[in-house]
Amino acid sequence: MHNYVQRFLLENLDIRGAVVHLDSVWQQMLAGRNYPHPVTQLLGEMSATTLLLGDNLKQAGRLTIQLNGSGPVSMLVIDCTESLYIRGMAKCAQHIEPQSVPNLLGHGQLLLTLDMPSMRESYQSIVPLDGNNIAEIFEHYFKQSEQLPSRLFLITTHQTIFGLLLQKLPDADQQDPDGWTRAEALAATVLDQTLLGLTAKEILTRLFYEETIRVFDAQTVHYGCQENLAKIYAMLRSLGREEVDSILKEFGEVIISDDICNREYRLDALAVDAVFREAGPTIH
């Protein structure tokens, strides 16, 4: 299985970029979700782009990208850590017909949040849904935030996610006045999906066969939904014994849904009692 982000530089053109590829991690994220195909497409493209942004984190932290809309896809949320542990989910109508991305999302916005232990408070950026697809929305974000012309090429299937990012550095036109236009055209040919079984280095060599390419070490991507029972216990303790007991009395058990990880925790009376003692309970 191949789950990675790999950066590169077209040295003679002063154009940088990155390749992202997921297979088993993507399949874990989709397991048990049964999203309509258009939603899977959007979630995959959002995941690829989040990883391309998250790979820039240089210290411990978490990047969360949330898209809220008024259309049949009301929310998409992806987050990843500096170590590229990723997780994500969508909220949407049960049945969705194929239609344009603006119609799927409706009016809304993109919220980017960066949390780091070194920061006194979270950094947030709100981005309008300016574009006909996820690639265009994020190209607009890159242009506004990094002041660099950028192009994204994204492919999503139920088995695989692939993304290719190009960014034009400030001296690119001095290096080669036609370099950016040429690189864009060559990169666009990746969308025929015939190259997706190759490594990043092989893909880049075939796309930019006349250019000098520096390929950096690949960074491994992981699925970020490890079970965190300590967090569940802490949440229940913060509610207090009286509140938790009232829930238990009404429903017979306490059910906690972790939507982003598609997981459910159920605690019976014995487990609840153990939460408020030193020893942690067994949750089923």
pLDDT band at 280 (very low <50, low <70, confident <90, very high): low
pLDDT the model gives residue 231: 77
What are the start-end ranges of the H helices in 78-133?
A: 101-105
Expressed as residue numbers, the domain containing 263 is 229-275
Domain-embedded: residue 284: no
pLDDT the model gives residue 25: 96
Domain-embedded: residue 72: yes
Unique residue bearing structure tokens 């060599």: 205
Q: Are residues 22 and 56 in the same domain?
A: yes
Q: Are residues 234 and 219 in the same domain?
A: no
How are beta strands 4-10 and 62-69 bridged, if at all?
unpaired
Domain-embedded: residue 197: yes
Domain-embedded: residue 281: no
Q: Are residues 203 and 265 in the same domain?
A: no
Domain-embedded: residue 144: yes
Q: Are residues 177 and 270 in the same domain?
A: no
pLDDT the model gives residue 80: 94
Round to the nearest angstrom and report the end-to-end CA distance of the chain: 30
pLDDT digits (tens, 9 = 90+) for 110-165: 999 998 888 888 888 888 888 899 999 999 888 888 788 999 999 998 899 999 99
pLDDT the model gives residue 246: 86
CA dist 13 → 33, 106, 168, 177 (Å):
43, 38, 9, 9
Q: Are residues 117 and 32 in the same domain?
A: yes
- Whichever domain contains 259, its CATH number is 3.90.1280.10
Domain-embedded: residue 169: yes
Q: Is residue 204's pLDDT more than 70?
A: yes
Domain-embedded: residue 283: no
Q: Are residues 156 and 132 in the same domain?
A: yes
Q: Are residues 200 and 251 in the same domain?
A: no
Write 211-215 long-range contacts (CB < 8 A, 24+). Answer: 211/10, 211/11, 211/12, 211/13, 211/183, 212/10, 212/11, 212/12, 213/8, 213/9, 213/10, 213/11, 214/8, 214/9, 214/11, 215/6, 215/7, 215/8
Contacts of 43 (CB under 8 A, 6+ apart): 29, 35, 76, 78, 88, 89, 90, 156
Q: Is residue 47's pLDDT more than 70?
A: yes
Q: Are residues 79 and 155 in the same domain?
A: yes
Domain-embedded: residue 45: yes
pLDDT the model gives residue 282: 55
| Residue 234 CB neighbour total at 10 angstroms | 11
pLDDT the model gives residue 281: 54
Higher per-residue pLDDT: 277 or 39 = 39
Q: Are residues 135 and 235 in the same domain?
A: no
| Per-residue buried b or exposed e for 87-108, using 16+ beta carbons within 10 Å of the residue's own CB | bbbbebeeebeeeebbebbeeb
pTM check: above 0.75: yes
Provide mean pLDDT across the span 160-183: 94
- Whichever domain contains 11, its CATH number is 3.55.30.10
Q: Are residues 89 and 201 in the same domain?
A: yes
pLDDT band at 278 (very low <50, low <70, confident <90, very high): low
pLDDT band at 273 (very low <50, low <70, confident <90, very high): confident
pLDDT band at 98 (very low <50, low <70, confident <90, very high): confident
Q: Which of 2-6, 84-88, 138-142, 180-184 has the lowest mean pLDDT?
A: 138-142
Q: Are residues 100 and 62 in the same domain?
A: yes
Number of domains in the chain: 2
Rounded CA-CA distance 152/23 in Å is 19
Q: Are residues 162 and 263 in the same domain?
A: no
